[in-house]
């Protein structure tokens, strides 16, 4: 903001100074032209009068006998202490014009015998000059007004666009991002407004997702609990109790997933990205899953393979990918880690049914899942969403397709070798 203020300040300063200098230069140029033209015109107008008095002065024996107007006088040329250039001009028969400090103009013309000089003094013409000055003053302020208008019109236009966008956002209409020029004074404001609008849209989407989850996914196990309580008998108390516990656990998992989603969507955890052993982390996590599942895990990881990543978040990435694949895999899960050029690539493949084509582009969105997924477990579509978030934080990308070596789903995490700071 300070940079934009300084730009505006110096722009206005240079605009006023530049306009003043330009108008002043034009004014001086035309004033000199006008004065020269006026001087020549006055010389032509007063020459006959000066020549008349010059002839009279030559015809009289003494200057005291002349009857001259108050503004006309005759002096001896010897009384003039002028520079040689002015005296040469006077001796050549030209009229010499001198102006005093109060603006009075005096015209000098030498007589033919060149012994005397006729002087004609006129009052100043300040009124005419003032009239011209008023015109130039109007020109100056008009130029300032035009320049300010040319600067402020785009600003007002951008403000109006922001106002319309705010009204549309407040009315709940579909928001379109404001695109202001990069040189616009309101460009940072427009970018901040777009970010705010996107955040509001995400919050509204989160609200709708939570409403959907609460209205459907929570009410379903609650309905089963009510049904179990209504139909349970003394002999089946143990079985009914176990069913109720499972439904309660399902509700608890859903609430945990919703809270986790809100956390990952609207907060940024502190990531500690540094160079560390990735093969060891992967082997440790696979060892735990081998104890809990009958799935056969195949590892293709170079011993001691190291990369730059955040340990805690990548642990969650591997766990979420494995949890997802175990739900659908029949017998095999293959995990590989390799380096290609300047990127690390972690690949996980399974022999499950794969991902429905209609879900390939939305599988990482929260609360999206297939019927098989919902039937297989109590997952709510947040595992892959979190994986994608963590990939983005590592300046990477998350790819999902059905080109597994086993014919099932394939997940790829690609992130730069030289990643330094998280990208939130």
Q: What is the pLDDT of residue 371?
A: 44
* DSSP symbols for 189-242: HHHHHHHHHHHHHHHHHHHHHHHHIIIIIIHHHHHHHHHHHHH--GGGHHHHHH
Instruction: List the domain boundaries for the chain.
Output: 2-124, 187-265, 268-416
pLDDT 10s digits, 127-149: 455 566 677 777 777 877 887 78
**Position 33 pLDDT exceeds 90:** no
Looking at per-residue pLDDT, the higher value among 126 and 280 belongs to: 280
Chain length of the chain: 424
What is the maximal distance between C-alpha atoms in the chain? 159
Report CA torsion sign: 114, 119, 120, 124: positive
Q: Are strands 296-301 and 332-340 parallel, antiparallel or unpaired?
A: parallel
Q: pLDDT tens, 164-175?
A: 888 877 777 777
Four-way CATH pick for 268-416: 3.40.1190.20, 3.30.2040.10, 3.30.565.10, 3.40.50.2300: 3.30.565.10
> What share of the chain has pLDDT > 70, as a percent?
74
DSSP SS3 for 108: strand
Digit-coded pLDDT (tens) for 38-54: 666 656 666 676 667 66
**pLDDT band for position 265 (cuts 50, 70, 90):** low
Report the share of the chain in percent with pLDDT over 90: 23
Region 78-82: what's the mean pLDDT? Answer: 83
pLDDT at 372 over 50: no
Mean pLDDT of the chain: 78
In CATH terms, 187-265 corresponds, of 1.10.150, 2.60.40, 1.10.287, 3.30.70, to: 1.10.287
Residues 175-203 have pLDDT tens digits of 777 778 777 777 788 788 888 888 787 77
Question: How far is C-alpha 56 from the chain's CA centre?
Answer: 83
């Amino acid at each position: 903001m300070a940079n934009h203020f300084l730009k505006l300040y110096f722009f206005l300063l240079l605009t006023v100074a530049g306009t003043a200098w330009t108008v002043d230069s034009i004014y001086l140029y035309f004033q000199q032209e006008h004065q020269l033209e006026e001087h020549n015109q006055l010389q032509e107008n007063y020459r006959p009068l000066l020549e008349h008095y010059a002839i009279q002065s030559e015809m009289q024996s003494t200057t005291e006998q002349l009857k001259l107007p108050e503004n006309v006088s005759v002096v001896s040329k010897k009384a003039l202490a002028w520079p040689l250039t002015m005296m040469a001009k006077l001796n050549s028969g030209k009229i010499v014009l001198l102006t005093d400090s109060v603006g009075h103009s005096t015209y000098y013309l030498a007589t033919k015998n060149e012994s005397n000089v006729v002087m004609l003094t006129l009052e100043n013409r300040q009124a005419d000059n003032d009239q011209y000055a008023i015109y130039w003053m109007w020109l100056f302020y008009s130029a300032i007004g035009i320049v300010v208008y040319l600067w402020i019109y785009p600003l007002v236009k951008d403000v109006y666009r922001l106002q319309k966008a705010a009204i549309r956002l407040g009315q709940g209409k579909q928001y379109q991002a404001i695109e202001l020029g990069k040189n616009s004074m309101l460009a940072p404001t427009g970018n901040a407004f777009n970010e705010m609008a996107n955040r509001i849209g995400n919050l509204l989407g989160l609200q709708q997702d939570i409403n959907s989850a609460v209205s459907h996914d929570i009410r379903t196990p609650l309905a089963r609990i009510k049904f179990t309580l209504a139909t349970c008998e003394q002999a089946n108390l143990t079985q009914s109790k176990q069913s109720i516990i499972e439904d309660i656990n399902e509700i608890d998992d859903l609430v945990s997933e919703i809270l986790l989603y809100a956390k990952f969507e609207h907060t940024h955890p502190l990531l500690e990205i540094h160079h560390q052993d990735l093969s060891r982390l992967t082997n440790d996590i696979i060892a735990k899953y081998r104890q809990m599942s009958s799935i056969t895990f195949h590892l293709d990881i170079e011993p001691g393979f190291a990369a730059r990543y955040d340990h805690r978040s990548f642990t969650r990435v591997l766990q979420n990918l494995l949890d997802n694949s175990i739900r659908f895999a029949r017998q095999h899960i293959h995990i590989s880690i390799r380096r290609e050029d300047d990127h690390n690539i972690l690949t996980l493949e399974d022999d499950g049914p794969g991902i429905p084509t209609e879900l390939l582009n939305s599988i990482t969105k929260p609360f999206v899942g297939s019927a098989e997924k919902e039937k297989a477990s109590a997952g709510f579509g947040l595992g892959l969403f979190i994986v994608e978030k963590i990939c983005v934080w590592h300046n990477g990308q998350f790819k999902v397709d059905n080109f597994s070596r086993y014919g099932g789903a394939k997940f790829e995490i690609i992130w730069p070798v030289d990643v330094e700071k998280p990208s939130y």
